[in-house]
């Protein structure tokens, strides 16, 4: 099976078409850095890259092209950049025992795609950064419109209200890092953290591969 996949989707850099994984080091240097933003309810939200150029291309390929192993490669790059750009924050997360939680997809969408890219990112990051990882703490309870198809900011918020619910009867992680592939308005992350905080979570960070900057 992996031979067929390799033949259908040869592992070439999405930027230049040459070898060295899905994103070669030269193309990586051309990607603009993400940012650390403060948002209501969050201690901070870090996006590693700006949602632009090659990185936009990669995220779209992962989402709609079923290239799940590109997520693993991106998680490695995220971890490396976190250690370089935010060493104190990584140390703080480790010391305070923060737990990485992926933003869940709606079940139907996950079945169709076969994987949740945020889950792959979070799981891989937890291994590299030695942080706790849990999935299935929250689920999406309603089938909502794809956020990417909604342009209006207010509509996005409406679409997100009450979309998450707690899926566990076990202990809630007190300190969480919500992981997603891309942050646009922040509505998804905010809704997820709100749900968690209503059930016992105290502190929350956001962490994404890429972020849309205003
Ligand atoms: Zn390249």
Question: How many of the other CB atoms lie within 10 Å of CB of 214?
Answer: 5
Q: Which fold has domain 31-211?
A: Rossmann fold (3.40.50)
- Residues near ion ligand 1 (CB < 5 Å) are 13, 15-16, 24, 27
Compute the distance from residue 28 Cα to the ligand 1 centre, in Å: 7
In this structure, the strands spanning 175-183 and 99-102 are: parallel
Question: In degrees, to the nearest 5, what angle opens at C-alpha 178 toward C-alphas 145 and 161?
Answer: 35
Tell me the domain boundaries of the chain.
31-211
Compute the distance from residue 16 Cα to the ligand 1 centre, in Å: 4
Compute the distance from residue 15 Cα to the ligand 1 centre, in Å: 4
pTM summary value: 0.88
Phi-psi domain of 161 (left: phi exceeds 0; alpha: psi -120 through 50; beta: other): beta
pLDDT in tens, the chain (214 residues): 455 655 666 678 888 988 778 899 899 999 999 999 998 899 999 999 999 999 998 998 888 766 778 899 999 999 999 999 999 999 999 999 999 999 998 877 777 777 889 999 999 999 999 999 999 899 987 656 676 777 787 777 777 767 899 998 888 999 999 999 999 989 889 999 999 999 999 999 999 999 998 7
């Amino acid at each position: 099976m992996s031979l067929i996949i390799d033949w259908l989707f040869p592992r070439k850099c999405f930027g230049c078409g040459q070898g060295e994984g899905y994103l070669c080091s030269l193309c990586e240097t051309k990607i603009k850095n993400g940012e650390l933003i403060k948002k209501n309810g969050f201690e901070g939200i870090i996006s590693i890259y700006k949602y632009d150029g090659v990185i936009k291309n990669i995220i779209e390929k992962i989402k709609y092209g079923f290239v799940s192993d590109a997520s693993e490669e991106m998680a490695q790059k995220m971890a490396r950049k976190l250690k370089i750009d935010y060493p104190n924050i990584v140390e703080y997360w480790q010391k305070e025992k923060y737990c990485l939680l992926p933003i869940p997809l709606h079940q139907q969408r996950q079945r169709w795609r076969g994987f949740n890219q945020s889950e792959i990112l979070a799981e891989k990051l937890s291994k590299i950064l030695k942080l706790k990882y849990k999935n299935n703490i929250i689920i999406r309870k309603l089938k909502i419109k794809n956020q990417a198809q909604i342009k209006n900011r207010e509509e996005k918020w409406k679409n997100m209200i009450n979309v998450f619910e707690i899926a566990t009867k076990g202990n809630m992680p007190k300190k969480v890092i919500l992981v997603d592939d891309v942050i646009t308005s922040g509505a998804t992350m905010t809704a997820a953290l709100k749900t968690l905080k209503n059930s016992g979570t105290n502190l929350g960070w956001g962490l994404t591969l890429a972020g849309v900057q205003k």
